[in-house]
């Protein structure tokens, strides 16, 4: 019999019925994998009307809060729900264990602590952020649980390769300039990158064939990656562009996706606790010069002609699949209960 206050997940909260933005696609895959591994259902949220939001806020602040809190304490005897938060939320559902994906160094810590004060456990995906919060005596019960690769994306053999080099997602310097120079020196290389065709409308473009398409659907984007021999990867802020995370530079899922799709990854990243935790240096050289870049890309094009998945990539990805993160969560919850 579960004792009161023990941590037990009874479901995975998902917004998939009304959120379809591409950055959420992999989150929904993580939700599926956690649900399978923990053997719990998906709990689908419905979009709230403005009136429902106002009423909910009134209950949070008004006299009904005492009744609501009493009910929530009773409900927690049955268990908690798990939910991914893309960024820290202003309000958190009662009885929820959040996994925070992106956390900016500009985050107001007092507001963050206040919003998550009632959480029995807060999971931080970035080791760099986790240490940052610990160093600042974070009053919340935080644990590190890194982002991962959905198990189903692992390849056992390489698909047919068609394109030479791709820069998936946001492109950044100095790799943009490096590729411009490389394609001038090696004109036979076919390079695929994102380009704004019309205002706010991004398309993937080939240096040889022109516009290829949007590839907004998850399956189409992954299919494109699988057709590329070499993928360029830069961590947030490593290229000197506007830093959306205010100084933090985490490992992003795109790195895992590129490796899983059989691409040789040529990367530039910040040497920090996140990249050390994943062991990225074992599989991706950290590029610091054009000559190093050129050598890595040309070597990658030769290696990308093989038919077997690189054993180093396979071993690396085995450590970072979502099912293992779910098992790690079980360990964390058990430690909290002991």
Same domain for 255 and 121: no
Q: With CA atoms as reference, report the closest residue to 308 among 155, 154, 158, 153.
A: 158
Instruction: Look at residue 121 and give its three-state secondary structure.
Output: coil
CA distance 142 to 331: 14
CA distance 260 to 193: 19
DSSP tag of 309 = -
Beta strands in the chain (DSSP E): 9-14, 42-44, 80-85, 96-100, 122-124, 142-144, 163-167, 191-198, 201-206, 210-213, 228-234, 264-268
Cβ proximity of 18 and 308 under 8 Å: no
Token readout for 71 is 């009910």
CA distance 223 to 305: 17
Q: 194 - beta bridge partners?
A: 204
Same domain for 121 and 253: no
Same domain for 212 and 288: yes
Residue 1 maps to a domain:
no
Q: Which domain holds residue 194?
A: 155-318
User: In CATH, what number is assigned to the domain containing residue 202?
Assistant: 3.40.50
Q: With CA atoms as reference, report the closest residue to 33 among 159, 123, 158, 154.
A: 154
Same domain for 254 and 222: yes
CA distance 195 to 211: 9
Looking at the 3D structure of the chain, how many domains does it have?
2
pTM of the full structure: 0.87
Three-point CA angle 100, 106, 110, nearest 5°: 75
CA distance 89 to 99: 11
Residue 13 maps to a domain:
yes
CA distance 330 to 40: 13
Same domain for 238 and 136: no
Judging by beta carbons within 10 Å of its beta carbon (0-12, 13-18, 19+), is residue 304 exposed, middle or buried? buried
Cβ proximity of 149 and 317 under 8 Å: yes
Give me the half-sphere count of Cα atoms (radius 13 Å) on the Cβ side of residue 145: 29
Same domain for 170 and 137: no
Per-residue tens of pLDDT for the chain, all 338 residues:
333 456 889 999 999 999 988 899 999 999 999 999 999 999 998 765 444 444 455 545 555 444 444 444 444 447 899 999 999 999 898 899 999 999 999 999 999 999 999 999 999 999 999 999 999 999 999 999 999 999 999 877 778 899 999 999 888 899 999 999 999 999 999 999 999 877 778 899 999 999 999 998 999 999 999 999 999 999 987 655 445 556 799 999 999 999 999 999 999 999 999 999 999 999 999 999 999 999 999 999 988 666 566 788 999 999 999 999 999 999 999 988 87
Same domain for 203 and 190: yes
């Amino acid at each position: 019999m579960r004792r009161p206050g023990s941590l037990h997940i009874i479901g995975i909260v998902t917004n998939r019925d009304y959120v379809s933005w591409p950055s959420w696609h992999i989150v929904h895959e993580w939700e599926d994998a956690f649900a399978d591994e923990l053997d719990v259902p998906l709990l689908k949220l419905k979009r709230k009307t403005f009136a429902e939001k106002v009423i909910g806020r009134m209950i949070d602040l008004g006299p009904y809060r005492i009744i609501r809190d009493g009910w929530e304490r009773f409900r927690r005897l049955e268990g908690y729900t798990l939910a991914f938060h893309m960024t820290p939320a202003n309000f958190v559902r009662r009885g929820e264990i959040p996994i925070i994906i992106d956390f900016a160094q500009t985050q107001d810590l007092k507001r963050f602590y206040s919003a998550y004060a009632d959480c029995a456990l807060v999971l931080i995906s970035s080791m760099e952020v986790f240490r940052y919060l610990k160093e600042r005596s974070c009053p919340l019960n935080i644990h590190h649980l890194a982002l991962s690769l959905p198990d189903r994306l692992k390849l056992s053999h390489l698909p047919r390769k068609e394109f030479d080099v791709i820069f998936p997602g946001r492109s950044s310097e100095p790799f943009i300039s490096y590729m411009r120079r490389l394609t001038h020196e090696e004109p036979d290389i076919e390079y695929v990158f994102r380009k704004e065709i019309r205002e706010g409308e991004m398309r993937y473009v080939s240096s040889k064939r022109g516009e290829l398409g949007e590839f907004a659907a998850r399956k189409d984007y992954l299919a494109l990656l699988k057709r590329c021999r070499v993928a360029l990867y830069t961590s947030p802020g490593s290229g000197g562009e506007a830093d959306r995370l205010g100084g933090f530079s985490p490992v992003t899922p795109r790195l895992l996706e590129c490796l899983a799709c059989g691409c040789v990854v040529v990367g530039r990243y910040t040497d920090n606790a996140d990249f050390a935790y994943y062991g990225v240096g074992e599989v991706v050289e950290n590029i610091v010069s054009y000559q190093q870049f050129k050598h890595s890309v040309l070597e990658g094009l030769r290696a990308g002609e093989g038919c077997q998945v690189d054993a180093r990539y396979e071993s690396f990805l085995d450590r970072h699949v979502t099912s293992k993160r779910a098992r790690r969560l079980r360990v964390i919850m058990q430690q909290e209960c002991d």
